[in-house]
Chain A
Amino acid sequence: MALAVDSIKGLARMACTIRMDIVEMLNKAGSGHTGGSLSAADIVTALYFHKMRHRPSDPKWPERDRFILCKGHAAPVLYAALARSGYFPLDELKTLRRFGSRLQGHPDSRKLPGVEISTGSLGQGLSVSCGLALSGKMDAASWRVYALLGDGELQEGQVWEAAMAAAHYGLDNLTAIIDNNGLQIDGACSEVMCVDSIPDKFASFGWDTISIDGHNMEEIIDALDRAQAHKGRPTAIIARTIKGKGCSLFEGKVEYHGTPPSDKELEAALKELGGGK
């Protein structure tokens, strides 16, 4: 079974550890996506260390809950959660983006056990999650599908094709979580192409919606539980987050979307995160 970290405090500590893993592996890699990995750290921690049933020693365990990282560029947060869960040695995190590594720039399901499907091209993950949830429904399976999307990703039209289908098929075994950090590569989502109101959009497509603070572990867990209890409709959790959360150097700064921490920044970030640990 996954590492048990049941108390809220314990989960918050794990999220902090995962953030440290993220900044360390990105610094070592010399490229990659800092901001969107850090903003999703609490959500991914809640899923891997509390909510999801999964077996790191048996990644293809048929009864496992499935996680799909639609915003595939946040690969570091997934890799850290997988390594901390025990899917592969922690040491391997240092190989991120290197030639020959299983830790590709964006998740590759053919290389790394624990990755359900390769992602990276935005807008496609929710459709795949719908198909997976449909197959679960067909088999009357008890496992659930969790899809993590970025807010900028919602600009992709395919997301709304999938949103329509999920409601049409009544996929209450599907929970979509929107990492609503408000920023994308070229600037604020509201300036590049406004995606608001996200809850209204999902609601109008026939979803239940829950809006939360995506860095409040209690709220995250409560929302995940409520989503599971909703019957007949899929649920979208709109998690308000801060891009780069946990390291003030990167927080809310669009330039750290795709910039890794320098050695100096890493030192400061680890110090800050270590303080919170």
Chain B
Amino acid sequence: MSNKVATREAYGKALLELGRKNPSVVALDADLSGSTKTKVFGKEFPERFFNVGIAEQNLMGIAAGLSLGGKIPFASTFAVFATGRAWEQIRQSICYPGLNVKIVASHAGITVGEDGGSHQSVEDISLMRTIPGMTVIVPADGVETSKAIMAMGEYAGPTYIRVGRAKTEVIYDDSYGFRVGKANVLKKGSDVTVIACGVMVPEALRAAEELLAEGISAGVINMSTIKPLDADAVIEAAKGSGAIVTAEEHSIIGGLGSAVAEVISEACPVPLVRLGIKDVFGTSGKPDDLMEKYGLTASDIKKAAKEAVAKKPRKV
């Protein structure tokens, strides 16, 4: 049985660890610290923790000011509010002046579950990716979340990190070396490569195994940094396998699939099938049921992989 950890839990623990190592680290929340797990940090460092109340715009502005004062602020709330409600504050007060603010947004995607469509951000990656100078990271599991948070101590500049509510499969062990902007090739494949992020990475691994049993060699890449995108890894996969599938728990508009499409359409056009939420809002339900409803399971990836392979030009 595989071990399951919610990436938000991993965030809370890693933030505390980073806070212990680096006294400049401060945390902010907008009345969701129990859910985003910044409360763990706040308990040990009350004087470095600011709960600004239900005021996400102010959350981002105060984080910007703390950064100006030399702190390393981690601002957290639900992804839908962080990136939607406070988008312009992130643009104007954080990214335009190029401030070192880390936005770690939890409850991203449809795996929020029962809270329903109002709370399920399916646009956050797209909204953050479009802002000049913003780094966007979607960790695949708890281990990668910890590594990414710890890396933030040394990584300057505005960064958005997306974490989730639900417990999800752990695919890495502690030996994994995370680097911002570097894709992690989990499996090489000669027929097709699945480029995934977040909770779709374990699904992709499962799909690749099943495809292999059916005689299709599928590679799997964990593209945890959506921006700056590791274009070299995308091109190498496109050249090496001749077909690409992208998989993300996010709208197919503007997220990982779009970022990959931008690269391959210019640099190495090959058949591409994008899996994601097809321009609709989410709905209430259990995360697993929702993943099935929106076509985000290993079997959907398998189907997409076969579709991509079928689109490849036939060898003469």
- Indicate if the CB atoms of A117 and B64 lie closer than 8 Å: yes
Q: Tell whether, in the assembled complex, residue B50 and residue A134 are in contact, meaning their CB atoms are under 8 Å apart.
A: yes
Kindly list chain B residues whose C-beta atoms are within 8 Å of the C-beta of A120.
92
Most buried by A among B55, B61, B68, B89: B61
Q: Are A128 and B93 in contact (CB under 8 A)?
A: yes
Question: Which among B55, B67, B73 is the interface contact of A161 at CB below 8 angstroms?
Answer: B55
Select the stretch in A34-42, A135-143, A258-266 that faces chain B.
A135-143
Q: Is the CB of B89 within 8 A of A127?
A: yes
A118 proximal to B (CB < 8 A): yes
Question: Contact mask B33-60 → A, CB, 8 Å, 1/0?
Answer: 0000000000000011010110101101
Of the listed residues B48, B62, B88, the one surrounded by the most CB atoms of chain A closer than 10 A to its CB is: B62
User: CB-nearest residue of chain A relative to B99?
Assistant: A117
Q: Is A74 an interface residue (CB 8 A)?
A: no
| CA–CA, A136 and B66, complex, Å | 9
Instruction: Assess whether B55 is in contact with A165, with CB atoms less than 8 Å apart.
Output: yes
A132 touches B68 (CB 8 A): yes
Q: Is the pair B97, A132 in contact by a Cβ cutoff of 8 Å?
A: no
Contact call B89/A130, Cβ cutoff below 8 A: no
Number of A positions contacting B (CB below 8 A): 33
- Interface residue? A162 (CB, 8 A): yes
B64: which A residues are within 8 A, CB to CB? 117, 127-128, 131
Count of interface residues, chain B, beta-carbon cutoff 8 Å: 30
Bound complex: CA A130 to CA B62 (Å) = 6
Bound Cα distance from A172 to B260, whole angstroms? 50
Chain A 156-193, CB within 8 Å of chain B: the 1/0 string?
A: 01100110110001000000000000000000000000
Contact A161 B65 (CB under 8 A): no
Is A132 in contact with B66, judged by CB distance below 8 angstroms? yes
Measured in the bound complex, the distance between the Cα atoms of B66 and A130 in whole Å is 8
Residues of B within 8 A of A220 (CB): none
How many A-B pairs with Cβ below 8 Å?
A: 108
- Chain A 118-134 against B: per-residue CB contact (8 Å), 1 yes, 0 no? 11110111111111111
* Alpha-carbon gap, A192 to B275, bound state (A): 48
Given the contacts A134-B50, A136-B69, A161-B55, A127 and B98 also touching, CB distance less than 8 Å: no
In the complex, what distance in Å separates the CA atom of A138 from the CA atom of B96? 25
Q: CB-nearest residue of chain B relative to A174?
A: B65
User: Cβ of A213 < 8 Å from any Cβ of B?
Assistant: no
Query: Once bound together, how far apart are the Cα atoms of A162 and B69, in whole Å?
Result: 17
* Distance (whole angstroms) from the CB of A107 to the closest CB of chain B: 10
**Is B71 touching A117 in the complex (CB atoms < 8 A)?**
no
Beyond contacts A121-B93, A125-B61: 17 other A-B pairs, Cβ-Cβ < 8 A, are A66-B68, A108-B97, A117-B97, A118-B96, A124-B92, A127-B93, A131-B61, A131-B64, A131-B68, A131-B73, A132-B69, A135-B65, A136-B69, A138-B69, A158-B89, A161-B58, A162-B61
26 A-B contact pairs sorted by A residue (CB < 8 Å): A108-B97, A117-B97, A119-B92, A121-B88, A124-B92, A124-B93, A127-B65, A128-B65, A128-B68, A130-B61, A130-B65, A131-B67, A131-B69, A132-B65, A134-B62, A134-B66, A136-B69, A138-B26, A138-B47, A158-B61, A161-B52, A161-B53, A161-B57, A162-B61, A164-B58, A165-B62
